[in-house]
């Protein structure tokens, strides 16, 4: 187990297939990249598709055999090559340096120590590695007694600091106090949702960390190794899984992107290269979730800001006259809907805001309310929006590691019972909401089943509940 810091010294390193460089320097490079969550896998993800074979990147990657860790061999992703330190270096350069694409990971251009100026910013692989490793060591030194760091190990003060972001304050534990946030999901807002189920605002961050990283900052596979997502090649790390381009890479304040105005208050370093946010530090990493949700400066996720500050997520649904939205049932709470028109309430805005964390804030807006998205045919939602909705519903309702809230059911007025029926003249309704949507049933199918036809007995009818 290493306890002393590693000092980086510039030295010419590069792959040479005729005589690959090998030795202690390469072994140190492999050790550092592995602990930073980088994989040597020959399988890469490009635009959501796998290219090559073998274990995936990130948390799903497998470490090189010990004899291969000290050899800087060029690796390819065409299915013909083999896992290598070169591929680890290619991955690191890809998610750190803007001009490179995922397809460059398996090329010699990416699998070397780059030193070049792009958009008047100098990118240097060794210096970039130093920035990551400095933060990694700071986090390690503080919690070296924890080879596996779980969410449950966070201190109350760290969670309180994270939640304070929703009240308009950014004060990273052991870090900087920054600007760039307004009050969003305040205590007053939370109380409107809490009447359905008793939970704390910090539980939202816990649920996201559980969903994104199984609640593990580091040590999920090997001791002290940072959790890096395996669904893409973006270097998303720790509890928050914010893509590296926004934290340390091209869209960070010191990045090489042509428009490096990322989410300013989650940028690991400022334009002068001074440390600003340590994403390897568990307390700062969890707080960055809230900052990403609420931040206003640059291209933060902003979904909490759009939902609860600008209210641009708020949509109003006018239900069809033949199936008016009659009421809503959330657990034991029943609320009437007046004249079939319903505007997103805090519960529904929270669902949109959580879904926006996963698929980007632009996935929702005020053109359609939450319930209106639920009743759309699945084919009209698109893959990204369906993913965002499923993500939000799972976060809010799954009892295992999530918020455990009751599903919201929407009660629709179908008609009146005919003469001869024991309830003749009385109204009947049917329910369709989040639970049915998650089960794969559509609103149209549920409605048609409730109405029935000459060949099918109606099913799913219920009393019209009122608030």
311 and 265 in contact (C-beta within 8 Å)?
Answer: no
Q: Is the pLDDT of residue 421 over 90?
A: no
Distance CA 282, CA 146 (A): 12
Q: What share of the chain is helix, strand, coil (3-state, %, to 5)?
A: 35, 15, 50
Tens-place pLDDT, residues 14-33:
445 455 657 889 999 999 99
Tens-place pLDDT, residues 303-315:
999 999 999 999 9
Least confident of 53-62, 100-109, 342-351: 53-62
Share of the chain above pLDDT 90, in %: 76
Tens-place pLDDT, residues 334-383:
999 999 999 999 999 999 999 999 999 999 999 999 999 999 999 999 99
Q: Which two tokens stand for residue 456?
A: 């099918």
Residues 6 or more apart in contact with residue 420 via CB below 8 angstroms? none
Residues 6 or more apart in contact with residue 3 via CB below 8 angstroms? 144
Q: Is the pLDDT of residue 11 over 70?
A: no
Helix runs in 214-274, H state only: 244-247
Give, as one character, the DSSP assignment of residue 295: B
What pTM was computed for the model? 0.90
Length reported for the chain: 467
Number of H helices, E strands in the chain: 15, 17
163 and 202 in contact (C-beta within 8 Å)?
Answer: yes
Q: Which two tokens stand for residue 119?
A: 């958009």
Partners of 117 in beta bridges: 122
pLDDT at 10: 47
Distance CA 88, CA 441 (A): 44
Distance CA 379, CA 42 (A): 34
Regarding predicted confidence, which is higher, 323 or 46?
323
Q: Angle 187-194/346-359 helices, nearest 10 degrees?
A: 110
Tens-place pLDDT, residues 282-292:
999 999 999 99
Grade residue 4 by pLDDT with cuts at 50, 70 and 90.
very low
pLDDT at 258: 75
């Amino acid at each position: 187990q290493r306890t002393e810091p590693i000092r980086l010294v510039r030295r010419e390193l590069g792959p040479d297939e005729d005589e690959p460089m090998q030795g202690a320097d390469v072994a140190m490079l492999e050790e550092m990249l592995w602990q930073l969550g980088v994989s040597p896998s020959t399988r890469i993800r490009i635009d959501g598709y796998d290219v090559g074979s073998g274990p995936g990147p990130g948390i799903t990657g497998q470490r090189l055999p010990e004899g291969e860790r000290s050899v800087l061999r060029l690796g390819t992703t065409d299915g013909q090559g083999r896992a290598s330190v070169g591929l680890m270096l290619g991955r690191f350069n890809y998610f750190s340096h803007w001009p490179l694409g995922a397809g460059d990971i398996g090329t010699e251009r990416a699998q070397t120590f780059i030193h070049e100026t792009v958009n008047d910013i100098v990118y240097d692989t060794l210096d970039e590695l130093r920035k990551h490793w400095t933060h990694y060591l700071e986090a390690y030194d503080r919690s070296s007694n924890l080879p596996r760091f779980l969410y449950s190990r966070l201190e109350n003060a760290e969670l309180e600091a994270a939640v304070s972001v929703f009240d308009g304050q950014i004060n990273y534990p052991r870090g900087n106090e920054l600007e760039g946030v307004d009050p969003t999901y305040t205590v007053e807002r939370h109380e409107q949702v809490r009447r359905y189920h008793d939970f704390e605002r910090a539980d939202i961050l816990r649920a996201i960390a559980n969903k994104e990283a199984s609640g593990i900052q580091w040590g999920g596979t090997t001791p002290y190794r940072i959790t890096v997502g395996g669904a893409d090649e973006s270097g998303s790390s720790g509890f928050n899984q914010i893509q590296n381009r926004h934290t340390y890479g091209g869209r960070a304040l010191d990045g090489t992107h042509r428009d490096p105005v990322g989410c300013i208050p989650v940028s690991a370093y400022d334009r002068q290269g001074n440390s600003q946010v340590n994403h390897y530090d568990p307390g700062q990493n969890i707080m960055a979730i809230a900052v990403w949700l609420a931040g206003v400066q640059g291209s933060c996720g902003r979904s909490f800001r759009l939902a609860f500050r600008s209210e641009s997520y708020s949509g109003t649904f006018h239900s069809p006259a033949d199936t008016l939205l009659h009421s809503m049932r959330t657990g034991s709470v029943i609320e009437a809907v007046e004249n079939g028109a319903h505007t997103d309430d805090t519960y529904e805005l929270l669902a949109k805001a959580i879904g926006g964390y996963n698929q980007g804030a632009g996935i929702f807006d005020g053109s359609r309310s939450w319930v209106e998205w639920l009743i759309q045919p699945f084919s009209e939602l698109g893959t990204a929006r369906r993913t965002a909705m499923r993500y939000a519903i799972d976060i809010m309702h799954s009892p295992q590691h999530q918020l455990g809230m009751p599903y919201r059911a929407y009660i629709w007025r179908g008609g009146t019972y005919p003469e001869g029926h024991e309830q003749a003249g009385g109204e009947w309704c049917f329910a369709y909401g989040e639970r049915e949507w998650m089960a794969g049933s559509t609103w149209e199918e549920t409605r048609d089943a409730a109405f029935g036809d000459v060949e099918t007995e109606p099913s799913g009818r219920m009393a019209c509940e009122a608030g």
